[in-house]
Structure 1
């Protein structure tokens, strides 16, 4: 009888130990979840502020005001990235603000991060295509001849991501035409400009490109 009581007491203590352990684990998990939610909300708040500042910077007609707003957008984007360093949208937003500030090389580096693993995994195809087009545009602006091959690779991938539908971006084909023209590939350049014009009949860049190439 004494042995049975000791055994039952042991089982009771063991059961209580498991109960309190589970209770403690649940509290820890809940605390962790709440902390994560607060961090996500804080990151989102900084991202939204950065996006609003960027929009105001783009619409401002005063150069100094636009520059200051772009700088503030970068600050807010950095705050978001301090919470979620792998957030590709924040890196892209930062790149757009840096471009407005005239810091094209820095903008390219921000886009490099956004378009590299692991950040790239959470970026939807459409946004990835837009980021690739923007990086190609910046590469051409910084040094067309040195970066033309890299720009072509980005643009070809962007066109693939857009697919054969009405969402195809005429700007990508215009930039491709400029790259091919720089490389001396006249036929490829003509085809790219022609495709851009087909997508956007009013494209001045595409029309001028075809005129230069004698088509």
Structure 2
């Protein structure tokens, strides 16, 4: 989308922003938009991660965001597998929305199999309503409705989608950003996965190339 000034991406976990909409992020940034990424849950450690420090985990996200051209990354560091809805968490997201005042918002789609992805979807939808209301003044001034709110796919591919973006020009940036999550690649080759999914979506929607697909969750009414 050209003419978009500000974009906000709500990611449940570090790397979801790349898998779900990394090509779109790079496209927005290349077109001059300011992109804010809000990562809700902190990285969970596994047996592969004994030698990785918290600082190195954080640097992976910073490096990935830099590759995509992200202007600001906000890490809320909520506990993994113990994510709870709270006024504080909602206000943290509302504050980020009101500070950014985005024309386009990305969040996980509403039917992802991962329970935390679904929780962050609900969090995002509720925070969007809160950010536009005249209440919750402690989180800043109310914002206008975004022009477009899109649900992206990560763990569970979308069975139905309404929006397609050609990311051929930005595919390598997406793959390189995924490569910044070095500790994640010890678990699985997500860099190969994002390339393969983009190729599949390109073939499915256009007969070739590379694409990201989205659920359209909200389109602003025009007067």
More strand by share: 2
Larger Rg: 1
Question: Which fold has the larger relative contact order, with Cα–Cα distance below 8 Å and residues 6 or more apart in sequence?
Answer: 2
Q: Return the TM-score normalized by structure 2.
A: 0.28
Query: Structure 1 length as normaliser, TM-score?
Result: 0.29
